[in-house]
Structure 1
């Protein structure tokens, strides 16, 4: 029998090890990759010899972990290195702690800071969209890639098993095959679309974040009454000695105070980091707090027309340690380094995308909401163009160039780009199959 390694893609094993977030057994990897145990062991043997994977333990205790080519400690500062050493201690050697309200109360917007001020200023300067544009313009301009990037990256940090390509296919179909991972991804997509629409109109409010949570956890919580509701149940966080407060009145008070202080922060990048850290630390909801905090961090960025934050290329273990450093020690040094690295990656990607698109069309910006309404009327409600324009009360005399823009957009509309008009792929495909009636 040949002992050659089967033709299996090593990326499958790399992705599986990343999803585990901890050393994994060969049987766990077989379950994640769909390969046989023999195939997995042969492939892992080759990857161990190549230095891609580290093997520890023996027999049934053998575990495999991805070897970092550029581990965070190579560039980490002294504070981050010290924090990482403390977090590497066994749980039994770490002192149990609970929520400390002074971490929030001693923060004074625009006077005290979580991010180093030079870093926050630098990132905010690079992140802003050129020109005076309505809030949310940047996010809407890059909406299609943002939906994929942020939905997949955030879900992956929760252990979601979908690949990036499978996520793109799921979004193209617009329907769920019924598994929880698909529901999680589609919930992220709807939540991001909600933010792009709602943030410019409502800003950072309690109702907005509660609705954000409800969208993210729809059909994933056993008790639907917990959607968007400040929790009244005990929550526990894995792999940490931190115990969040279980007092509902304190949760309500601190949740409102987090939003109040975030609204008063002038630097949008500092505000994004503040929200991300404090919402995760407070754990105001029964479940989905980290998901909510990641998307909520984008609210100040949208309000100031800054590049969105998609958490691309963040490893689950690095993310967990950044959060646990805050939970147990109120130390943001690892969180700062992770945030800065992932936001720089987002900046590079979305800056290039915007440059490739050219300057925004002034007609499109002026009539953005009306264009959305008219296209929905034509595609979803099956009204004629004349009827839709009559409802909008726009004519060539009052809105020169609008009809030409509308006709151009309708000609390009398809299931893969319909989200920007708040249309579902199913409704759009039905309209296309009907011959694009106008």
Structure 2
């Protein structure tokens, strides 16, 4: 069978509309028209398929002529990025006022405001990192086709169970890759060796070893497919291997801040790396997971420590078509990567805000647990959170391994936590095969039914 047909964006018919110089038409542009044009850039960067509906019926001009003017405006504001296409044409971006507002908000969130770093107990930080890494690993794998529920995937990771199928293997691989970035790779400069190592972790036992440890070649015949509406299309044809190899050298230098370019905000650079890997598609498989992993690598390397808590892929997974279209708009609308940057920035903010809400809810649940149990003994924050989990989930169980893994503590410390709660009558234990599993004790079950 041949490849699916190529997908092409709908574009307006502009043959009857003159392409003017920005400076000439802008002097003659009235306030109403200016407002329409700027509204197409902010708060969301619009393509023709949405723009035409937004301005239809406007008394200013036809949608086609307004689009022509908008394109001139965008070209005037555009700045070249280091990313080039197969024809050596640069991808460009428009730095919008909302871009700087969002970057400021993210600097505040990812630099400390997200949790209040100085007042957060160490055990809480470790729990939130594990939670963030797990959620990112699961969602990033599901974006690439892993078929499993979030609950089943979390249980797989928490219990450190051997994967039973390719979907489970993808999730375990992604989790190990994220841990490697957080614990080791963030301290290393990017290189071909590191890329091959990371790719090997991401694709272990899901990809033939003969295509690991090397970039794809033309003979691999790699294309990107996607569903638009009800039809499958070819949505991207990666550039040839000669171009790929040359550009990977530049990408690695750029990731190491060694390309001689002007300063660009680290979050914008991380997003560009994400896009660049997606465009080049350097491997025969696993490119999406690698692109998102490098996004985290770059920000952690530049001390955006709180990004570990924020699973971006959980938000991307809810709108996979928008994620794919952000790539397509950027490639097919005159190499305008603003579409991708705008989409990613809004999703990072959304993911950070959702994490803040999660933390607030967790603190509230822990507080409710304290009130319900009314214990007089001193317990630590880990134990308090575990009791909150048992109170909120009727099917909750725990093992020494799961408690150790979730909180990034030794098995010995995890066993002490659980034994102490059992001694207080809050948990009970039961041997199940090679595991000792803990359930809610009588005292905790009584508290569950307390109104």
Segments of structure 1 that go 5 or more residues without pairing to the other structure are: 1-72, 87-96, 359-411, 434-438
Match of 1:160 among 127, 146, 156: 146
Residue 207 of structure 1 pairs with residue 193 of structure 2: yes
**Within the alignment, does 1:144 sit opposite 2:127 as a pair?**
no
Match of 1:275 in 2: 273
Q: Does 1:82 align with 2:48?
A: yes
Work out the CA distance in 1 between the residues paired with 2:151 and 2:179.
20
Contact 2:169 2:205 in 1 (8 A): yes
The whole-number CA distance in structure 1 between the counterparts of 2:289 and 2:147 is: 16
Structure 2 CA distance for partners of 1:269 and 1:343, relative to 1, 3 Å: same
The farther-off stretch of 176-185 and 139-148 is 139-148
Paired residue for 1:342, among 343, 347, 364? 347
Question: Aligned with 1:214: secondary structure?
Answer: helix
* 1:326 aligned to which of 326, 330, 336: 330
8 Å CA contact 1:76–1:337 kept in 2: the answer is no
- After TM superposition, give the deviation of residue 331 of structure 1 in Å: 2.7
Deviation at 1:216, TM superposition (A): 0.9
| TM-score of the pair, normalised by structure 2 | 0.54
From 239, 244, 260, the counterpart of 1:245: 239
- Contact 2:186/2:297 (CA < 8 Å) preserved in 1? no
The answer for the alignment partner of 1:198 in structure 2 is 184
Offset of 1:199 from its aligned partner?
3.0
Counterpart CA distance in 2 for 1:126 and 1:335 is: 21
Kept after mapping to 1: 8 A contact 2:143/2:320:
yes
Q: CA shift at 1:252, angstroms?
A: 2.3
Q: In 2, distance between residues paired with 1:276 and 1:99?
A: 18
> Which one has the bigger strand percentage?
2
Aligned-partner Cα distance in 2 for 1:285–1:142: 32
Cα shift at 1:150: 0.6
Tell me how far 1:420 sits from its aligned partner: 6.6
CA shift, 1:75, in A, is 11
Conserved 8 A contact 1:322-1:334: yes
Instruction: Tell me if structure 2 keeps the 8 A contact 1:80–1:333.
Output: no
- Cα distance in 1 for partners of 2:194, 2:105 equals 28
Alignment pair present for 1:122 and 2:105: yes
Closer, same or farther in 2 for the Cα pair 1:101/1:150, shift >3 Å?
Answer: farther
Partner in structure 1 of residue 205 of structure 2? 219
Partner of 1:317: 321
Q: Distance in 2 between matches of 1:102 and 1:256?
A: 17
Q: For the residues of structure 2 that align with 1:175 and 1:193, how far apart are their CA atoms?
A: 17
Post-superposition offset of 1:147: 2.6
Q: Distance in 1 between matches of 2:359 and 2:237?
A: 43
The alpha-carbon deviation at position 319 of structure 1 amounts to 1.4
Distance 1:76 1:302, change over 3 A: same
| Alignment check: 8 A CA contact 1:213 1:288 kept | yes
Q: Deviations over 1:368-395 (max 9, x none)?
A: xxxxxxxxxxxxxxxxxxxxxxxxxxxx
The match for 2:253 is 260
SS of the residue 2:214 aligns to: coil
Task: Name the counterpart of 1:184.
Answer: 170
Alpha-carbon distance between aligned partners in 2 of 1:423 and 1:103, rounded to the nearest angstrom: 50
> 1:98 deviation in Å?
6.8
Aligned to 2:215: 230
Aligned to 1:375: none
Q: Name the residue aligned to 1:418.
A: 405
Which SS does the other structure have where 2:239 is aligned? coil
Per the TM alignment, residue 169 of structure 1 is displaced from its structure 2 partner at its CA by 1.5
What is the TM-score with the length of structure 1 in the denominator? Answer: 0.55
In 2: Cα distance, 1:256 partner to 1:351 partner: 38
Instruction: State the alpha-carbon separation in 1 of the partners of residues 98 and 297 from structure 2.
Output: 17
Where do 5+ consecutive residues of structure 2 fail to align? Answer: 1-38, 53-83, 226-232, 258-262, 364-398, 416-431, 437-451
How far apart, CA to CA, are the structure 2 residues paired with 1:218 and 1:103?
34
